[in-house]
Amino acid sequence: MKVSYLGPEGSYTHTAALKTFSSNKTLELIPAPTITNIIHDLEIGLVDKAIVPIENSIAGGVAETVDALQRSENVFVVNEMVLPIDHCLLAVPGTNLKNNLEEITKVTAHHMTLGQCMDFIRKNLASAEIEPSSSNSIAAKRLKNKYAADQDVRHEAVIASRHCAEIYNLEIISESINDASINETRFWILSKDINSGIKTPKNKTTVLFQTKDEPGSLQMILRIFAINHVNLSRIESRPAKKNLGEYLFLIDFDLHRDDPRFEDLMRQVKQHFTYYKWLGSYCRMA
């Protein structure tokens, strides 16, 4: 079984993939450079499954995941998993940066990671240049590669996982630097086969929709869920990509598409929709 993930090796998505699929003896993990590429690889059949981050408890929703799923065809959420995140500040081995954080001139990480460590950065790395990267693990890998060629990176740091420190032979100079002690990322497992997920009695559904341009239309939709006693666990807005001020909504609610009540609920809410896309019904883990 081939699974695409956000590479290179050592990313949190890589760890999430290893935890999710470790029991599969034929597992082959295929790194992709962006979330858009991960989903595209699944869409065109290069892989059997894909794993993507959907939200982090500090930095919030992953817009690229929602946008890529909206554009995709026949790609569905079949499971979710939650991974604890523990960010470390890493540097090349043998520096004295551990006791001299103020000597760090540059810190690199994915923008979602930077957003999870802003308080730490402001307090400890106030004069460092903040540099985004397409993943934490690519930042770690590049720091290792640059060091091999040029020792002039002894004042640079990256934010990544302990696993990255091992893989790329970097030294941990500060641990657990997240702005909140609880830091978790929820991942979606994607497949073209809607029946390939794990089944449990606790289920949820994710849909994307746009409401009619009428006052209070979102409130009316949420009210239908409340009247039907269906718990809505998450709502996120995304731009409709037409005019400023027009939005799509991504909602998670505790009802599987196979539940007999699903069709009736959807019939009621769809009256208020101008756009609707079912992204998946799957086992609820968070």
Question: Could you list the residues that contact its own copies (CB under 8 A)?
Answer: 33-34, 36, 40, 55-61, 63-64, 67-68, 71, 82, 111, 115, 118-119, 122, 129-134, 179-180, 182, 184, 186, 215-216, 218-219, 222-223, 225-226, 231-239, 241-247, 286
- DSSP one-letter string for 61-115: E-HHHHHHHHH-SS-EEEEEEEEE---EEEE-TT-SGGG-GGG--EEEEEHHHHH
Shortest distance in whole angstroms from residue 34 CB to its own copies: 6
Q: Say if strands 49-56 and 184-191 run parallel, antiparallel, or are unpaired.
A: antiparallel
Distance CA 211, CA 221 (A): 9
Give the alpha-carbon dihedral of 86, 90, 96, 99, to 10 degrees. Answer: -30
Shortest distance in whole angstroms from residue 6 CB to its own copies: 12
Looking at the Cβ atoms of 201 and 215, the one nearer to its own copies is 215
Looking at the Cβ atoms of 98 and 223, the one nearer to its own copies is 223
What is the three-class DSSP state of 244? coil
Shortest distance in whole angstroms from residue 64 CB to its own copies: 6
Looking at the Cβ atoms of 247 and 278, the one nearer to its own copies is 247
State how far Cα 152 lies from the chain centre: 33
Shortest distance in whole angstroms from residue 128 CB to its own copies: 10
Here the tokens at position 120 are 């730490």
Looking at the Cβ atoms of 55 and 156, the one nearer to its own copies is 55
Length of the chain, in residues:
286
Shortest distance in whole angstroms from residue 200 CB to its own copies: 17
Looking at the Cβ atoms of 78 and 121, the one nearer to its own copies is 121
